[in-house]
Chains A and B, each alone.
Chain A
Amino acid sequence: GAGVSQSPSNKVTEKGKDVELRCDPISGHTALYWYRQRLGQGLEFLIYFQGNSAPDKSGLPSDRFSAERTGESVSTLTIQRTQQEDSAVYLCASSLGTSGRTISYEQYFGPGTRLTVT
């Protein structure tokens, strides 16, 4: 079936504007993850959903960041009042599911959204 898809693929926004990034996981995958990758760096974990719930939001960089998931499917990551430091590639992944708070399934990544804040 189809893999993880993300939209838009590229987003250029002005400092101070809000942006919404979308992730469509693999059908049937109950767990969904958001990561951020700054240029030349590794991946930074932001948040994950088991179903529509996010057990741990402590990875979100600031209160300008929020995420939601509906219907155990699509997820949106919203960044309010964007700053230049938010410029990065935002990657989404999904997996079959978790047991309690333990991730025990292989993650599959989408192509990412490249966000540039000018």
Chain B
Amino acid sequence: GIQVEQSPPDLILQEGANSTLRCNFSDSVNNLQWFHQNPWGQLINLFYIPSGTKQNGRLSATTVATERYSLLYISSSQTTDSGVYFCAVAKEGDMRFGAGTRLTVKP
């Protein structure tokens, strides 16, 4: 099946810093989503982005489908950004998740 790799696995930032999270996938996909799982376990949709670039406030994402990667940018990070960020992709019928990037933002 399709493989999804996320990097880095862990990231510690000072509040106000910027960061880039990466997602590589092994095959062409029809769908790609970025999620934030908060400390209470809830998965929050960030972006539905099988291709192109989107922005939402301090967050933006870019997917280059032909090169099989996606990037999530977090600018001016806040302590509430802490949690695990997952990339998930779907080729046919099932969505595969990466192992996630655990982000800790310190005040």
Residues of A within 8 A of B (CB): 33, 35, 41-45, 48, 55-56, 59, 89, 91, 98, 101-109, 111-112, 114
8 Å CB contact of A101 from B31, B43, B93, B98: B93
Q: Given the known A-B contacts A109-B43, A112-B41, are A42 and B97 also in contact in the complex, defined by CB atoms under 8 Å?
A: yes
What would 22 A/B residue contacts be, using CB atoms closer than 8 Å? A33-B95, A43-B86, A45-B94, A45-B95, A45-B97, A48-B94, A55-B93, A101-B92, A101-B93, A102-B30, A102-B92, A103-B30, A103-B31, A103-B92, A104-B31, A105-B31, A106-B48, A107-B95, A109-B42, A109-B43, A111-B42, A112-B41
B99, CB-defined interface residue at 8 Å = yes
- A46 → B minimal CB distance (Å): 9
Number of A-B contacts (CB under 8 A): 60
A109 to B42, CA, bound (A): 8
- B27 → A minimal CB distance (Å): 13
Residue of A nearest to B31 (CB): A103
- A22 → B minimal CB distance (Å): 18
B11, CB-defined interface residue at 8 Å = no
- B51 → A minimal CB distance (Å): 12
A89 to B42, CA, bound (A): 11
Residues 33-60 of chain B: 1 if any A CB is under 8 Å from the residue's CB, otherwise 0?
1010000011101001000000000000
The 3 A-B pairs at the shortest CB distance, nearest first, are namely A106-B48, A109-B43, A103-B90
- A45 → B minimal CB distance (Å): 5
With a cutoff of 8 Å between Cβ atoms, the chain A residues found around residue B43 in the complex are: 91, 109
Extra A-B contacts (19), CB below 8 Å, given A55-B93, A59-B94: A35-B97, A42-B100, A45-B97, A101-B92, A102-B30, A102-B90, A102-B91, A103-B31, A103-B90, A103-B92, A103-B93, A103-B94, A103-B95, A107-B33, A108-B45, A109-B42, A109-B43, A109-B45, A111-B41
B99 touches A41 (CB 8 A): yes
With a cutoff of 8 Å between Cβ atoms, the chain B residues found around residue A56 in the complex are: 93-94
B72, CB-defined interface residue at 8 Å = no
